[in-house]
Amino acid sequence: MPLRRHRARAAIQRLPTDSLLAGAAAILTLMGVSTIVAARVLHPDRDRIPPGVSIAGTPVGRLTPAEATRTLTARRRAPNGALLLIGPDGDPVLPPVRLATLRPIPLVEEAVGLASRPVGLGYRLRRELGLGGTRDIQLEYRLRRHVVDRLTARAARALDRPARSAYVRVTGSELVVVPSSRGRAVDRAALARRLESLPREVQVPVVPVTPEITDLQAQIGRAKGLRIVRAPTIVSAGGQRAQINRALLLRALDFKNEGGTLEPRIDPRTIDGLLDRRLGHVERPPRSARFRVRGRRVEVIAGRPGRAIDSVAVARSIEDRPGETVSLRTRMVAPPLTTREAEDLGIREVVGEFRTPYACCQPRVTNIRRAAELLDGVIIPAGATFSLNTLLGERTRARGFVAAPQINAGKLEDAVGGGISQVATTLFNAAFLAGLRIVSHTPHEFWIPRYPAGREATISWGGPELVLKNDWPSAILLKVVAADEGITVRLFSSRYGRRVSTETIGFPSEGSAFSVVYTRRVVRGSGGERNERFTWTYRAPPRPD
């Protein structure tokens, strides 16, 4: 019999709460308690909000969702007052913020939806028996996102404090660990969520920020650093040795954050001077590939890589084998122009050349020869556009130019760099006959008989310009020679079956004004052609005074 009672008690304990409450409601009914109460408990009105429910303090129980929405909409006014952000220490973070600046829009429908959710039987029974049964739904707001972002950013600027990693400082002959400190950061997303209920006071949520390098990691790094500087290191190369003493090792020692660990490193720049003084004989400068002209053809003179002390590799060896003798490490230094690069430029033969004469030994010839020195050997890459002014630079006495006559506004006057237009004209004609694209050129104001009529160019610093484009697949090598009686410009590249023909229409008349027309036809093997027409009108030259 006791066993049966025990089982009966266990069965009663396992009954669901709602079942017990339903039973209680039935008992109340049998005892004569109001049948209406029992009906409300067992059969609630599903179309209305449960009794005892409020939204932001406004009672909405037993209202339909539509009635509750109208009630809240009618009672909710534009919020006034100010919002205060409180920091972790209890003090205000910023001056009070007017709630109206957040442009809040109450989310009434969402709150009514939460209020309309069915409640349990226990809640209903307690409500009808006066034993409790109330629920208040918080009203939230949709706020202007950019205003919230700006507000949370201001709070972060006021409260954020970065963590400081521990590090090792070299002090004299000692390695000292400087402890770390924790930081903090505003949880901007959590703060934005707290603002959605539009409270008058908000505790700003902050999260701790841990340092990337802890005190323990710094102590481990210090121990590694002590091993590196405990004794001098010898660097050897070909029977010669360079000793890096402890004082120099301490000066070169640095500590780097590498993936969250503090690693001691030897600065290659600090030991580079010693290695260069003691073991610099192993180094060899690189030699660029060169072009040698043989008649009308060009051959490539092979370059050679250089050799330099690899201070970085030596520093890593010292770190890996502290206190031992390490071998000097070297690295290859590529020349500015390798043999392969020179061959790939496609510079093989003459594709255009031109010569213009001058009388020896005049000041203008000095300028022409200085310009030839600057241009000789220049390489124009395939597809590049180039300006003669850019290649030559400004003509000044400091750069080797002298005063000589030049044409300015129809008159001859002396200027530093006078005579350079003869270089421009010679280059223009070589490029013209090579089939290069003429981007910009300006003939002289009056005809100079030593130049082809129309086919010439004048330049001056600041303009006019001579601008050409190498619109061929290979680079161009400029060879410029200023001899005793004239200047010659030859352009070396690959021909690609190019053919250039030209015709001049007009009758040059020395000492008078006239117009000239000249044409150019450029054929690219089987790849098409370009036909061009140029015109120019010369003024009469000035009469001698």
> Can you tell me the distance from the alpha carbon of 201 to that of 407, in angstroms, rounded to the nearest whole number?
82
Q: Output the pLDDT for position 48.
A: 86
| Mean pLDDT lowest among 23-27, 255-259, 472-476 | 23-27
> Can you tell me the distance from the alpha carbon of 36 to that of 21, in angstroms, rounded to the nearest whole number?
16
Kindly indicate the confidence band of residue 106, based on its pLDDT and cuts at 50, 70 and 90.
confident
What sign does the dihedral 115-120-121-124 (CA atoms) show?
A: negative
Q: To which H or E segment does residue 532 belong?
A: strand 529-538
Identify the CA nearest to 214 among candidates 254, 173, 261: 261
Q: Output the pLDDT for position 6.
A: 35
Kindly tell me if the per-residue pLDDT of 274 is higher than 90: yes
Q: How many CB atoms lie within 10 A of CB 12?
A: 9
> What tens digit of pLDDT does each residue of 230-261 get?
999 999 998 899 999 999 999 999 999 998 89
Kindly tell me if the per-residue pLDDT of 220 is higher than 80: yes
Q: To which H or E segment does residue 306 belong?
A: strand 306-309
Write down the pTM of the prediction: 0.62
Phi/psi at 2 (5° precision): -60, -35
Kindly tell me if the per-residue pLDDT of 172 is higher than 70: yes
> Can you tell me the distance from the alpha carbon of 82 to that of 121, in angstroms, rounded to the nearest whole number?
41
Mean predicted confidence (pLDDT) in 358-381: 94
Q: Which tokens go with 4?
A: 């049966």
Half-sphere exposure for 360 (CA within 13 Å, toward CB): 3
> Can you tell me the distance from the alpha carbon of 478 to that of 490, in angstroms, rounded to the nearest whole number?
6
Q: Output the pLDDT for position 7.
A: 33
| Cβ atoms 120, 132 nearer than 8 A | no
Q: Output the pLDDT for position 37.
A: 53
Identify the CA nearest to 452 among candidates 525, 361, 519, 407: 519
Mean predicted confidence (pLDDT) in 490-499: 93
Q: Exposed, middle or buried, 476 (CB in 10 Å: 0-12/13-18/19+)?
A: buried
Half-sphere exposure for 6 (CA within 13 Å, toward CB): 3
Bigger pLDDT: 37 vs 94: 94
Q: Output the pLDDT for position 391.
A: 95
Axis crossing angle, helix 420-434 with helix 363-375, rounded to the nearest 10: 40
Beta strand 240-244 with 233-237: parallel, antiparallel or unpaired?
antiparallel
What residue type is assigned to position 296 of the chain? Answer: R
Q: What is the share, in percent, of the chain residues with pLDDT greater than 90?
A: 65
Kindly tell me if the per-residue pLDDT of 4 is higher than 50: no
SS3 content of the chain, % helix, strand, coil (to 5): 30, 30, 35
| Cβ atoms 405, 364 nearer than 8 A | yes
> What tens digit of pLDDT does each residue of 437-466 get?
999 999 999 898 999 999 999 999 988 999
Residues in the chain, overall count: 545
| Mean pLDDT lowest among 54-63, 94-103, 123-132, 403-412 | 123-132
Axis crossing angle, helix 268-279 with helix 311-320, rounded to the nearest 10: 110
Residue found under tokens 């070396």: 492
Beta partners for residue 476, in sequence order: 380
Query: In whole numbers, what is the pLDDT of the chain averaged over residues?
Result: 87
Kindly indicate the confidence band of residue 44, based on its pLDDT and cuts at 50, 70 and 90.
low
> Can you tell me the distance from the alpha carbon of 284 to that of 368, in angstroms, rounded to the nearest whole number?
37
Burial pattern 191-230, b for ≥16 Cβ within 10 A else e, equals beebbbebeeebebbbeeeebbbbeebbeebbebbeebbe
Mean predicted confidence (pLDDT) in 92-109: 89
> How far is CA 363 from each of CA 49, 373, 398, 416, rounded to the nearest angstrom?
106, 16, 16, 10
What sign does the dihedral 86-87-90-93 (CA atoms) show?
A: negative
Q: Output the pLDDT for position 410.
A: 63
- Residues near 56 by beta carbon (within 8 Å), at least 6 away in sequence: 72, 111, 136, 137, 138, 139
> Can you tell me the distance from the alpha carbon of 390 to that of 401, in angstroms, rounded to the nearest whole number?
16
| Mean pLDDT lowest among 196-200, 251-255, 280-284, 530-534 | 196-200
Half-sphere exposure for 525 (CA within 13 Å, toward CB): 6
Q: Output the pLDDT for position 76.
A: 67
| Cβ atoms 488, 426 nearer than 8 A | yes
Q: What is the share, in percent, of the chain residues with pLDDT greater than 70?
A: 87
Kindly indicate the confidence band of residue 30, based on its pLDDT and cuts at 50, 70 and 90.
very low
Beta strand 206-209 with 183-186: parallel, antiparallel or unpaired?
antiparallel
Kindly tell me if the per-residue pLDDT of 334 is higher than 80: yes
Mean predicted confidence (pLDDT) in 282-297: 95
